[in-house]
Amino acid sequence: MRLRHIELFEAIRATGSLSRAAQTLHISQPAASKMLAHAEAQVGFKLFERIKGRLQATREADILAPDIARLSRDLESVRKLAANLRHHPQGHLRVGCAPSLGLAIVPRATGLSRARQPDITFSIHTHHTGELIAGLLAREIDMAVTYEPPAHPGIARIDLDRSEMVHVSREPGAAPVPLGSVDGNRLISMDPQDPLGGLLQTALAEHGVSLGTALRVQTHYMACAMVEAGCGDAIVDAYSAQGVARPSLSLRRLEPPVYFHIGAMVHADDPLSALHHGFLDCLRTACAEAAKSLP
């Protein structure tokens, strides 16, 4: 028996009439009659007999009735749960993100999500891109947020925003910094295997600037901390720079700009739930807010 058969069976038992059962299910009487015939053909015996003008369950149907009633209750529970999830999504979301995005963007998005839907819980982990991909493939996390998400088998990418890299220095200034004027020997460099580190290295090379190797770090917020400690200047993503902004540091745009994308990654085989879509909206809002505060 199919689910629709179960609904009709319960409606006929409740009303004793095929026409009233059809009204209950919002279908025509001919459609209900055809559905009942199909159900009886599937089980191999009659389910109802007409006695004194009223449809009565047969002996076989009475034997089936307790199990069918249980299935009907379970189906109603599923419907109520689906409606509740539609209007009040709840659950647990495991998020992985690049360390720099854990400073401002992901916390802000999480706060927005919790304000809208307090029942949602989160576990948040910071990893570099390779580890995030491994976590998604192993289904240890539900979503990853990172810079320039690479193409990878089994991973689906979702674009969130475009931002730019900024120059961080203890020297005061507000005007954009020409890429060709950057002192590569003073610059605290990023690992070229880092998505943004490689992007920056290519942009500087196009303007005749080569990076020194005196000081290299793995995270953008560590680069900013090194600048504050007087170790040199840095060029980092705008999100990190804003997340660790200090009165002693000046943040300046680059000329020409060095843009990058921030995106989310999910397992390609897993459909996006309302929970995913809601958090993606919060991430986009957090990115838009950060863009407005760029110098």
Q: What is the pLDDT of residues 238-294, one digit of tens each?
A: 888 887 778 889 999 999 999 999 999 999 988 888 889 999 999 999 999 988 877
Give the pair of three-digit tokens for residue 212. 């020194």
Predicted confidence (pLDDT) at residue 84 exceeds the cutoff of 60: no
- Count of beta carbons in the 10 Å neighbourhood of residue 2: 11
Report the alpha-carbon distance of residue 234 to residue 226 in Å, rounded: 8
* Residue-averaged pLDDT of the chain: 89
**pLDDT on residue 205:** 92
The topology (CATH level 3) of 92-161+267-292 is D-Maltodextrin-Binding Protein; domain 2 (3.40.190)
Task: Provide CATH 3.40.190.10 ranges for the chain.
Answer: 92-161+267-292
Q: How do residues 10-44 score in pLDDT, each as one tens digit?
A: 999 999 999 999 998 999 999 999 999 999 999 89
Q: What is the mean pLDDT of residues 170-180?
A: 92
Q: What is the average per-residue pLDDT within 4-11? A: 90
Domain with residues 3-87, CATH architecture = Orthogonal Bundle (1.10)
Answer yes or no: is pLDDT of 125 > 70. yes
CA atoms within 13 A on the CB side of 258: 28
**Please, where in the chain does CATH 3.40.190.290 lie?**
162-259
* pLDDT of 87 strictly over 70: no
Domain with CATH 1.10.10.10 in the chain: 3-87
What pLDDT does 71 receive?
Answer: 87
Task: Say which residues have a Cβ less than 8 Å from residue 211's Cβ, sequence separation at least 6.
Answer: 184, 187, 189, 201, 204
pLDDT band at 131 (very low <50, low <70, confident <90, very high): very high
Reading the block at residue 262, the tokens are 């921030």
180: DSSP letter = G
Label residue 83 by pLDDT band (50, 70, 90): low
Report d(CA 203, CA 207) in Å as an integer: 7
Confidence tier at 150 by pLDDT (50, 70, 90): very high
Q: 229-238: per-residue pLDDT in tens?
A: 999 999 998 8
Angle, helices 3-15/59-87, rounded to nearest 10 degrees: 110
pLDDT digits (tens, 9 = 90+) for 200-233: 888 999 999 988 778 888 888 888 889 999 999 9
Instruction: At 100, give phi and psi (nearest 5°).
Output: -65, -35
Between the CA of residue 170 and those of 14, 173, 251, 252, what are the distances in Å? 79, 9, 9, 11
CATH of 162-259, picked from 3.40.50.20, 3.20.20.70, 3.50.50.60, 3.40.190.290, is: 3.40.190.290
